[in-house]
Structure 1
Amino acid sequence: MASPRTRARFEAVRSAFPLGVATARQLVGIGFNERTVYKRCLPGGPWRRLLPGVIGLFTGTPTVEQYVRAALLLGGPDALVTGLEACRRHGIRRGPVRAAEINGSPPEVHVLIPATRQVRSVGYVHVERTNRLPAPIVRGGIPLAPVARACIYATRRLSRPGDVTELLSDAVQRGLCTIGALGEEIEDTTRRGTAIPRGVLQDVAEGVRSAAERQAKALWQRARLPEARWNVSVYDEAGRFLGIADCWVDDVAMVWETESTEWHLSPADHDATVERAAAFTAAGAVYTATKPKKLRTDPQGVIAILRATYERARARPRPRLTAGPPRSGKPHSGLARP
């Protein structure tokens, strides 16, 4: 049977570290011998070593919260989470799927620390030192980098333009940050890894709101058709709002949309897409839609349809429709993912 002193010590552990993660130094501070701490982390012991100097006070697989807390303890005082993990905790949902969500492996945790601190990346933790440590935004007890900072740091570590587009556009559409804030952040950070985010951010600034729309924009340019505008509000002759067009060709009042029912959030969203297409057509706009998969598998076929649709639109009298500026707020039902 454990002595009263030992029982008191373990009670202090449970009280001081309810999440079950502590540094070896913290454990020594409440009465454990350092040798005992690491002995308890040996195979078959009741504890486990998560990171250098960071102990999991349990056996079995850590939770995501325990992994994140361990990463912060590794970073030390003032450390905060940035990158994709911070984006998810801020409420950004689109973008790449984390490895932990696929196979249960540890999530990659990107941690910012002051430039004066000497801590190296290890295991699942990517440590970045900075002279621009921001004030943290605390969510669920976890200190996070501001949204724009988290987004840019996440996209610097992504290689697929589609993932970058989805993440940045989702942050803007949800009203979590502005295009201006993203632009300022990308100028203030290191240029390493920013080539793709810079190109994507320019498209987002011009109205593109999904990876599929970015592919569509590139294909429109290949088609050598007149300049188009992206995600604009369209109104009829009486000023009534018809909908937001993914692609709007103003000189002929033509609408082109990238439409994928598999990414609609609900049947109501799909119904809204159908109703919007009907409203455009009834008001006189020439309307066409393309599945995102078609953009990749048959680009020349899509170009041929676009050119034919444009010629048909140009051949009839232009209806008195007007278009407003791109909207950067809530997503609309025509948005699609690749």
Structure 2
Amino acid sequence: MYVERTRNPPRPHLKGGLPVAPVPRAVIDAARRLTDEDEIQAMMAEAVQRRFCTTDMLTHELDQAGRAGTALPRKALTPLLAGARSVAEADAWRLWQRSGLPPGHWNVPIFDANGNYIATPDFWCDEIAFAWEIDSYRHHANLEDHRATVARNARYVAAGIVVLQTLPSRLRTEPDEVERELQAAFRTAQARPRPDVEHAA
């Protein structure tokens, strides 16, 4: 247990009869004690993905916290503010940023011309209807997950969407090669007529 004085005590919530700090405050307080950016990012991403809080709530708590211990949490939060939902997606966000390719959207649902759902790609470049999926081995460890991915890819093909699949580990071990693959896939998508698909607002 770590005890520290604060000039900004949170308004507690009761959980099992015990007063506890709200999730955004607890996440930021914990993040300020950690020294590993991946751990900080994973903790923040899980809190947001499981809808315990929003990135705006985390930003507010960081702003209230002052400077001490907030440099890493602020750095870790930046990709999440853009829409990334995991450490791997944060790595992908950084790689896309350095690629010089046009900006896009993270984790937005895509629909065909008839309003039928296609997929929610990790990254979507609407300008040319290009999807980037960060697909891990673990996500395909069982038959159902593998079947879902095959079905997703079939919907991409049927809709005319160019999609690139990348293993999360390669974002760190082979970033230059992944960037070349991104550039090549982007050019392929750019060269064909854009299919009639759209993302949710």
User: Considering the TM-score relative to the shorter chain, is it more than 0.5?
Assistant: yes
- Please name the residue that 2:64 is paired with: 188
- Please name the residue that 1:137 is paired with: 13
Alignment pair present for 1:166 and 2:42: yes
Distance 2:107 2:51 in 1: 16
- Please name the residue that 1:248 is paired with: 124
- Please name the residue that 1:32 is paired with: none
RCO (CA 8 Å, sep 6+): is it higher in 1 or 2? 2
Alignment pair present for 1:204 and 2:77: no
Alignment pair present for 1:289 and 2:160: no
Aligned residue for 2:193, secondary structure, equals: coil
Alignment pair present for 1:226 and 2:132: no
Distance 1:158 1:228 in 2: 31
Q: For residues 189 and 180 of structure 1, do their structure 2 counterparts lie closer, same or farther at Cα, with a shift above 3 Å needed?
A: same
Aligned residue for 1:205, secondary structure, equals: helix
Q: C-alpha offsets along residues 31-64 of structure 1, whole Å, 9 cap, x if unaligned? A: xxxxxxxxxxxxxxxxxxxxxxxxxxxxxxxxxx
2:3 to 101, 112, 127: 127
Aligned residue for 1:220, secondary structure, equals: helix
Alignment pair present for 1:324 and 2:166: no
Aligned residue for 1:127, secondary structure, equals: coil
Q: Which amino acid aligns with 1:302?
A: V
- Please name the residue that 1:177 is paired with: 53
CA contact (8 A) 1:257 1:290 kept: yes
Q: For residues 216 and 232 of structure 1, do their structure 2 counterparts lie closer, same or farther at Cα, with a shift above 3 Å needed?
A: same
- Please name the residue that 1:309 is paired with: 185
Structure 1 residues 1-338: aligned runs within 5 Å = 109=1, 126-140=2-16, 142-263=18-139, 267-325=143-201
Aligned residue for 1:227, secondary structure, equals: coil
CA contact (8 A) 1:261 1:270 kept: no
Shift of 1:184: 1.2
Q: For residues 164 and 289 of structure 1, do their structure 2 counterparts lie closer, same or farther at Cα, with a shift above 3 Å needed?
A: same
Q: For residues 294 and 315 of structure 1, do their structure 2 counterparts lie closer, same or farther at Cα, with a shift above 3 Å needed?
A: same
Aligned length: 201
Distance 2:66 2:197 in 1: 45
Shift of 1:199: 2.5
Q: Which amino acid aligns with 2:83?
A: G
Shift of 1:235: 0.8
Q: C-alpha offsets along residues 131-155 of structure 1, whole Å, 9 cap, x if unaligned? A: 2222333434553211000001111
Shift of 1:276: 1.8
User: Identity of counterpart residues, as a percentage?
Assistant: 42
CA contact (8 A) 1:165 1:209 kept: no
CA contact (8 A) 2:95 2:175 kept: yes
Q: For residues 194 and 242 of structure 1, do their structure 2 counterparts lie closer, same or farther at Cα, with a shift above 3 Å needed?
A: same
Q: Which amino acid aligns with 2:64?
A: D
Distance 1:264 1:196 in 2: 31
Distance 2:6 2:141 in 1: 39
Structure with bigger helix share is 2
TM-score (norm 1): 0.56
Shift of 1:220: 1.3
Which segments of 5 or more consecutive residues in structure 2 lack a partner in the other structure?
A: none
Highest Rg: 1 or 2?
1
Shift of 1:281: 2.0
Aligned residue for 1:226, secondary structure, equals: coil
Shift of 1:303: 0.9
